[in-house]
Amino acid sequence: MNEFADKRIQRSKEILKSTFIALLEHKDFNDISVTEIVKMANYNRGTFYNNFGTKEYLLDEIIHETLDELKSEIRKPYNRTLNVNLLEMKPEDISVFHYFIKEQQLYSILLSTHIRVDFRHQLAKTIEELFIKEYQFEIPEQLHLDSSWLYVYRAHGVAAVMIRWLENGCVESPMEMSKQILLLMITGTSTFINKNMADK
């Protein structure tokens, strides 16, 4: 395949993806047809089927690419560091919340009920797998903590913070959220007050 043909295929795929995303902003996945996608994108059905086959595969590719981009953003502060000390990190080193601002429309769609896919779970699972594969948290031996649960706890906690911030409309600044994530990653609490008992 020559370079021109390859670029043309890539361009048609990107246009079909962006058209599909634009439709998902206002319509449920099940209510969108291939005919509607290609008509709005100004392509024929053959082009769609050659590139994706089904709208389910198209959605899967969008989700896969989005989560790959998310992993790249999470890695950025640590790419060239062997031993990472969270206490020494600065909020400005973290770019993932700036990335969310840039892709806010896409994430709003993927987190909506329009796609009938549990994107929340996929996002959390992606972060969990990244933590397990690429990071090794140092745990004091005296704790006897099963590290696998620490990865689950931290990854799903980080994902929940990201999702809540996105669903709340990104009210806090990316810098503030970066600061909060760093604090959450280093904060542990051993006591709490039972507020039901405090009022008695």
How confident is the model over 179-193, as pLDDT tens digits?
999 999 999 888 988
* Separation CA 95–CA 178 (nearest Å): 8
pLDDT at 200: 67
* Separation CA 114–CA 110 (nearest Å): 8
pLDDT at 71: 97
pLDDT in tens, the chain (200 residues): 566 567 888 999 999 999 999 999 999 999 999 999 999 999 999 999 999 999 999 999 999 999 999 999 999 998 888 998 988 999 999 999 999 999 999 999 999 999 988 999 999 999 999 999 999 988 888 888 888 999 999 999 999 999 999 999 999 999 999 999 999 999 988 898 888 887 76
All structural domains of the chain with their residue ranges:
1-53, 61-186
Mean pLDDT value across the chain:
92
Six token digits for residue 147: 């590290």
Q: Taking the CA atoms of the chain, what radius of gyration do you get in angstroms?
A: 21
* Separation CA 80–CA 184 (nearest Å): 23
What pLDDT, in 10s, does the model give residues 68-85? Answer: 999 999 999 988 889 989
The correct answer on CATH 1.10.10.60 for the domain covering 1-53 is: yes
Six token digits for residue 172: 């806090």
178 neighbors 94 (Cβ within 8 angstroms): yes
pLDDT at 197: 86
Place of tokens 């709005």: 40
* Separation CA 74–CA 95 (nearest Å): 7
* Separation CA 101–CA 155 (nearest Å): 20
